[in-house]
Chain A
Amino acid sequence: MAAKTLSKEQFQTFTDNLIAAGRVVGVKRKENKFAFGDLTSASELTLDYDVTLRSPRVFFQPPTEELISFTTGDTTTAAATIPATEPFVLLGVHTYDLIALNQMDRIWNEDNADQNYEARRKAATVIALEPIKASKWSFWASMGATKVEKGFDLLLTDIGGKYVIEIGTEAGKKLISAHAADAKEASADDLAARDRVRKELPSYCKADRKVNASVEELPTLIKSNYENPIWEKNAEKCYSCGACNLVCPTCYCFDVHDDIELDLKHGTRTRTWDGCLLEAFAHVGSGENFREHRGDRFRHRIFRKTVYMPEKINELACVGCGRCSEVCLPDITDPVKIINTIKEGN
């Protein structure tokens, strides 16, 4: 599709225009880290970030979300709670996070379409961004997550003094025509500069963040190592805290619970994020816990990312964002170390 350019100054104005027109969620500094948040001014926007604390999935599957409301007592009623999310612009989603978001679109929409996810996703206009920095944990280059073909309305590439803006959808095109009337058509030179930047992209991930197995061989490699001692060995230090689940852009498991008001009549049913590393995750009413041992839960997570999801939807469920590696206190969950250790032993 067509591409435009905006100088960085012009882009500030574009962002301020977007903010004036409605809700804009963008990447902001949070002490020495970065996080998505509502923008009140373009000056808050930071597009040279390495990684955000949480992935943008929080805007589509919030940590807690009402599913139904009900009344009980003499007459029982129940009604679906579908979020009436106001349209918003999500600005600055890194390529790897967009790949994860595209996967979430499939997960939630294919087979049984989840109306809550759909309502939130429809409300979002996504302005994606090719990273210009990687965190010390990032390994997206090894996961083939440097190039994204779809899922964005606009895609930004920083080519120095300006952004090349690829238009992905009609909605993206309208955003430019309405709020960046001064955008220029990208020239051949601009596109050549973008190609050069894109070639550099994989080199931003640090040398020690290289996975020594190809994306194609990963599912077979990990699957054949179901009994590898690494699962038990690493899990010996696992706190079962579930932090790896919480920060993962492709984790989406949830628990459901009811709350009832003090009148004992009105109540709601809510889903909350859950994590397969937590001890009670596979516990059933009769007392059985089908994944009681830490090692089994630890292995399940990595298998889900590298074996089960590829088998189910033909995509790896790891985009190499490095968030789990960073938050894991005992430093046991880093996919790079796990995969490389397994690869070495094979």
Chain B
Amino acid sequence: MATASNEQSLYLPELATVTDVKTMTETEKYFKIKLNNGKALGHKPGQFVEVSIFGIGEAPISVSSSPTQTDGFELVVRKVGNVTGAMHTLEDGATVGIRGPFGTDFPYEGTKGRDIMVVAGGIGLVPARSFINYVLANRKDYGRLIILFGARSPSERLFTDELADWAKRDDVEFLETVDKGDDTWKGNVGVITTLMPKVKIDPAKTTCVVVGPPIMYRFVIMEAKKMDLADKDIVVSLERRMKCGVGKCGHCQINDKYCCQDGPVFTYEEIKPMPEAL
């Protein structure tokens, strides 16, 4: 078939260059990426991009950096499939394709002046970090910043330098736990919900952002409700097979919603009538 090249298409990625790669854990790698056209990604905290490894495919990946960081953007990728496996072989200077940013964002605007409580489990810290660092970059616009982080084990903790910084800062209330400790671990042991009763909040002025593996949400939301948080003030980010990112391919549908367009960030109030959400 005759084709007209260089026509713009929903599915044509922008070329981008990997400018930094770091190994974070056994299964996670960090990537810093810059668009070749010199433009900023222009994302909002909580949005995702479709990353292309040409010849392998495309995968939806949450942006981990705050939009306040303009020198490229950051992704953290767990090696689980073809595309993420191929990403783990990338080195500095590698070319990838980027489409997006796509999806809804954490309520960084509507929560100004309010207290923020972030509950992040494992790799959920990756998208949550885009919001945390946005709040830190605009610290005076927000009330308390409470960060609760849980990892399965000490070796699976991500962004350890930043965790240490948050623990030290006076303007961040940081608590963390691991499901299972080891000889080096002197901190809390237990699932993430065990941290929640340790913080006292004013539910009327607190927004709770929850990001983690699918299993985590139900239990964290139960705890959040015990803290008297309103449904609209509990915010989650859901994982689905967001193949096209533009609301067409159908794979990410959760009942009547398309996770790639109507999500991935939803309030508990929005997902409550969606039996497939959790």
- Residues of chain A touching chain B, judged by Cβ–Cβ distance below 8 Å, are 66-72, 76-84, 107-108, 111-116, 226, 252-258, 260, 264, 267, 269, 271, 274, 276, 281-288, 290-291, 296, 300, 303-304, 307-308, 311-312
Q: Which A residues are CB-close (under 8 A) to B207?
A: none
Bound CA–CA A84/B213 (angstroms): 44
Looking at the assembled complex, report how far the CB atom of A68 sits from the nearest CB atom of chain B, in whole angstroms: 5
Residue on A nearest B213 in the bound complex, by CB: A286
**Cβ contact of A253, chosen from B11, B240, B249, cutoff 8 A:** B249
**Contact call B9/A115, Cβ cutoff below 8 A:** yes
Which applies to chain A's interface (DSSP): helix, strand, loop or mixed? mixed
B 9-32 to A, binary, CB cutoff 8 A, 1 in contact else 0:
111110100000000000000000
**Does B239 count as interface, using CB distance less than 8 angstroms?**
yes
**Does B152 count as interface, using CB distance less than 8 angstroms?**
no
Instruction: State the total of A-B contacts with C-beta under 8 angstroms.
Output: 151
Residue on A nearest B102 in the bound complex, by CB: A112
**Contact call B249/A282, Cβ cutoff below 8 A:** no
**Does B276 count as interface, using CB distance less than 8 angstroms?**
yes
Q: Which B residues are CB-close (under 8 A) to A68?
A: 9, 11-13
Q: Which B residues are CB-close (under 8 A) to A116?
A: 9
A78-B13, A81-B3, A254-B249 known; A288+B239 contact, CB < 8 A: yes
**Contact call A82/B4, Cβ cutoff below 8 A:** yes
B 225-255 to A, binary, CB cutoff 8 A, 1 in contact else 0:
0000000000000011101101111111111
A114-B248, A286-B80 known; A78+B97 contact, CB < 8 A: yes
**Does B256 count as interface, using CB distance less than 8 angstroms?**
yes
A258-B56, A282-B240, A288-B214 known; A269+B11 contact, CB < 8 A: yes
Query: Would you mind naming 21 contact pairs between A and B with Cβ atoms under 8 Å apart?
Result: A66-B1, A68-B9, A76-B15, A78-B15, A79-B5, A79-B12, A80-B9, A83-B1, A108-B248, A111-B246, A112-B246, A115-B7, A115-B9, A252-B248, A254-B244, A258-B55, A282-B241, A286-B239, A290-B240, A308-B253, A311-B256
Q: Which B residues are CB-close (under 8 A) to A107?
A: 248
**Does B84 count as interface, using CB distance less than 8 angstroms?**
yes
Bound CA–CA A66/B3 (angstroms): 10
Looking at the assembled complex, report how far the CB atom of A284 sits from the nearest CB atom of chain B, in whole angstroms: 5
